[in-house]
Amino acid sequence: MSDRAVELVRDLVALKTVNPMGRDYGAKVPVERPVTEYIEALLAPFGVTALRQSCSPIHENLLIRVEGRSDGPCTLFESHADTVPADDWIDRAFRPRVEGSLVYGRGACDDKASLAGMLMALIGVLESGKAPPQTVLMLSAGDEEYGQCGIRHFVQTIDAPIGRGIFGEPTQLVPVVQHKGTVRWDITVHGRSAHTSRPELGRNAILDTMRVIETLDQQQCEFQDRFPGGLTGGPTVTVTMIHGGRTRNAVPDECTIAVDMRIVPGMNSAKSLEQVIDAVGRLDMEVTHNEPQIMAPSLNTAPDDPFTSTTIEACSSCLGRSVKAEGAPYGTDAAWVSDMVPAIVLGPGRIDTAHAIDEVIDATEIATCAEIYHRLMVHDWA
């Protein structure tokens, strides 16, 4: 099976599906279209239902449905088709390199390895000629890497009951039942311009921004004292970008910072954002907060949920060793269904190679993951 895994992930990596991450996008087709067409062609001989879902002007999902023998709630398998950019190694990022069972290329680990594993598992079900006990939905999702509009569109439009969800991400084949949520927004500090020969006549927005950053750090400490974080580690508030000033000889009248806040189970994203805004508002300065670019909840599936237990059994059996449910500091699409059904993040690969130069996946791990996914697809959840 590893040869098939190499072939699939190599083909998927060669299909450039880079998320513009908020930058200009000049193409006329959605980011994910190359993968959409590839999956449609791959599954065409089986006659399954495949529906394109337009999520935004530049993003789309592909939803595959395999009917089950009963009308019980469906089992959802989701993996995203978009990748982060590869500007720092563009010369080779989309020319997959194969060395034995290792495949190198952008998206090899995050997230086309999981997508390949799900396709292998689904094809195995279809080739058996036997319908699964419950209907299987497989979603090749768009825009996971930036705004997560793909999974949000799916949740808003799904017309079938979902009983449980497996979300493919690099977890080294260990089930992740808790992870952090994400809130991202920009803060602009307004000052007053003046000639640098008389800085006392102005108000330096960059200096004021330093006070804002200190306040954000204080908020992080307060959050961590109140919410230790359990399996995920504590909450964080991180400044990721800064831009300020207009010329070298003028006091800067404006400075903008990008903020990435990670919340843990038990925290409310909107209330946490409001608390940070209130803390910054107590400073003696003019500040503008833009609308959040994303406000994603955390994942908090019970480690003793029957779905979790069955998934752990499948992983332990296929890996030949005992595993247990874990937590993760990152966020995924799984959070968007966690208020409806139990959801688990599970896939091949290591998170420390995701988004990195020379991103890599071991195809033998994809083959093992496909076996785990297959077991969960044919399990009778009734």
Q: Look at residue 30 in the predicted model and tell me its pLDDT.
A: 97
- Using alpha carbons, list the distances in angstroms from residue 103 to 79, 111, 113, 320, 365: 18, 13, 10, 24, 11
The domain of 134 spans: 2-179+298-378
Answer yes or no: do 171 and 31 share one domain.
yes
Task: Say how many CA atoms lie within 13 Å of 274 toward its Cβ.
Answer: 5
Answer yes or no: do 154 and 252 share one domain.
no
Q: Is the peptide bond before 111 cis (omega within 30 degrees of 0)?
A: yes
Q: Name the residue among 129, 152, 136, 126 with its Cα closest to residue 53.
A: 152
Answer yes or no: do 219 and 267 share one domain.
yes
Q: Look at residue 1 in the predicted model and tell me its pLDDT.
A: 60
Q: Which of 273, 296, 319 is the last residue of a domain?
A: 296
Looking up tokens 């023998």 gives 69
Answer yes or no: do 56 and 170 share one domain.
yes
Q: Look at residue 24 in the predicted model and tell me its pLDDT.
A: 92
Give the CA-trace dihedral at 129, 131, 132, 133, to 10 degrees.
-140
Q: Which of 296, 329, 350 is the last residue of a domain?
A: 296
Q: Which of 239, 262, 296 is the last residue of a domain?
A: 296
Answer yes or no: do 103 and 169 share one domain.
yes
Q: Look at residue 137 in the predicted model and tell me its pLDDT.
A: 98
| Intervals of the chain under pLDDT 50 | none
Answer yes or no: do 25 and 72 share one domain.
yes
CATH of the domain at 272: 3.30.70.360
Answer yes or no: do 291 and 302 share one domain.
no
pLDDT tens column, 131-155: 999 999 999 999 999 999 999 999 9
Task: Say how many CA atoms lie within 13 Å of 364 toward its Cβ.
Answer: 5
Number of structural domains, the chain?
Answer: 2
- Considering the entire predicted model, what is its pTM? 0.92
Answer yes or no: do 98 and 218 share one domain.
no
